[in-house]
Amino acid sequence: MPSLSQVYKDQPLTLPNPIMDLTRMEKVPDSHAWPPLEDYLDDVPSKDGIIPVISLSEPKLAVMNQVSRACKTWGMFQVVNHGIPMRLFAELESLGHQLFGLPMEQKLKALRAPDSISGYGVARISPFFDKMMWNEGFTVVGSPLEHARRLMPDNYDRFCAVIEEYETEMKHFAERLMELILSSLGLRKDDVEWAKNGFEHTNGVLQMNSYPMCPQPTTAMGLAAHTDSSVMTLLYQTSIAGLQVMKDGHWITVPPIPGAMVINLGDLLHILSNACFTAPLHRALVSQTHHRLSFAYFWGPPADTNVFPHPRLLSLNNPPLYQSITWHDYLKLKAKLFNKALPSLLLPGTA
Ligand code: OGA
Ligand code: NI
């Protein structure tokens, strides 16, 4: 049975080597200089509205309606009153600062191998761009023990305990959200093969992102525009603004709300909903005054289970738009085709 960890085994990703230490730069080097941003972290243009904030403490029907609207129009929303302890966010953030604050030679001890999904490295979408991004990351699938031991010989047990607690919280939260999202499509858990048995064998990948302070933030790019390859991504973006989502041709800044989780729908939910739900383009910008961290939990089905437009959503007027694909194969396709991966799955006659 293929697992997510095997995604890059037969298709290694060649990423730039060595990784540049961005923490002590006086100027953005040419390798990292993007065309200047004219709309750097602008205020939200009012006609596009603001990204929905949904409180889970409201009655279920109200929540479902808000989720449905948000999934159709934005593909992104923030959730408050979710019950995840604030203490955990604070601990995660503090360990993130410890990890990314280590000297480069130490971080390189946990370097992500080209054929592997986990470890320290640059953004996975880097090969698709001429310029490098102002970003470093650490990816965890399951236990980070092996890498954590090398990174933090004196503190790895604490690091692992916090990461594993956070992964457990995210898994439960993703399942709760998925039930809500399915009901907002008029579906039940039992209607989806990989949801019906308590989401057995579903997968999560935790991506810790670090965007060091940047001397010229308008010519740097934290993470270039992309859609996520997950069913959904649960993002804790800390208190520093940087995340933007594309809405009606404009980049809209997602304002940090203390303790809120940003929910971002991924390509697989776009397929499952037969394009009823949006998987939005988003990007991350960097700050001149703050080192920004974010924690993205990419959640999806068992690696080898097919995802396809749900038959209960289809009709003569709403024929299936996409071919069926597993998460494992979709990640491989994305690593090869990037933003052409989703269109490549369109069924003939629907383009
Ligand atoms: C990602 C992502 C946004 C952020 O990791 O896929 O979109 O704010 N991150 O770091
Ligand atoms: Ni993303």
Residue 11 has a pLDDT of 74
Query: Tell me: the pLDDT tens digits for 114-135?
Result: 888 999 999 989 999 999 999 9
- Report the alpha-carbon distance of residue 280 to residue 254 in Å, rounded: 13
Which of the 8 DSSP states describes residue 297? E
Distance from residue 317's CA to the centre of ligand 2 (Å): 32
Structure tokens at 35: 């065309």
Give phi and psi for 68, each to the nearest 5.
-60, -50
Question: 103 burial class (0-12, 13-18, 19+ CB within 10 angstroms)?
Answer: exposed
- Report the alpha-carbon distance of residue 97 to residue 100 in Å, rounded: 5
Residues near ion ligand 2 (Cβ under 5 Å): 228
Ligand 1, pocket-test mutation among 124, 233, 252, most atoms within 8 A of CB:
233
Structure tokens at 255: 């304002």
2 confidence band (pLDDT: 50, 70, 90)? low
Distance from residue 205's CA to the centre of ligand 2 (Å): 12
- Which helix H or strand E contains 237, and what residues bound it? none
Q: Which residues are identified as catalytic?
A: 292
Query: In terms of pLDDT, which residue wins out, 11 or 192?
Result: 192
Ligand 1: residue whose CA is nearest its atom 8: 243
Query: Tell me: the pLDDT tens digits for 254-310?
Result: 999 999 999 999 999 999 999 999 999 999 999 999 999 999 999 999 999 999 999
Q: Which atom of ligand 1 is nearest to the CA of 242?
A: 8
Structure tokens at 100: 């990314």
Q: Which atom of ligand 1 is nearest to the CA of 282?
A: 7
Q: Which atom of ligand 1 is nearest to the CA of 298?
A: 6
Residue 116 has a pLDDT of 87
160-to-28, 141, 329 alpha-carbon distances in Å: 34, 12, 29
Q: In degrees, to the nearest 5, what angle opens at C-alpha 91 toward C-alphas 63 and 145?
A: 105
Expressed in percent and rounded to 5, the helix, strand and coil fractions of the chain are 35, 20, 45
Q: Is the overall model pTM greater than 0.85, yes or no?
A: yes
Residue type, 54: I
CB 73 within 8 A of CB 126: no
- Report the alpha-carbon distance of residue 21 to residue 129 in Å, rounded: 19
Distance from residue 285's CA to the centre of ligand 2 (Å): 12
Strand, coil or helix: what is 138? strand
Residue 165 has a pLDDT of 98
* The CATH fold of domain 30-305: Jelly Rolls (2.60.120)
- The ligand whose atoms approach the alpha carbon of 266 most closely is 2
Across the range 60-77, mean pLDDT stands at: 97
Distance from residue 133's CA to the centre of ligand 1 (Å): 12
Ligand 1, pocket-test mutation among 211, 223, 339, most atoms within 8 A of CB:
223
Structure tokens at 11: 């298709």
Which of the 8 DSSP states describes residue 58? S
- Report the alpha-carbon distance of residue 188 to residue 194 in Å, rounded: 12
Ligand 1 pocket, Cβ-based, cut-off 6 angstroms: 207, 209, 223, 228, 235, 237, 242-243, 282, 284, 294, 296
Strand, coil or helix: what is 261? strand
83 confidence band (pLDDT: 50, 70, 90)? very high
Ligand 1: residue whose CA is nearest its atom 1: 296
Distance from residue 226's CA to the centre of ligand 2 (Å): 6
Strand, coil or helix: what is 315? strand
Q: Domain boundaries in the chain?
A: 30-305
Across the range 71-76, mean pLDDT stands at: 97
Q: Which atom of ligand 1 is nearest to the CA of 209?
A: 10
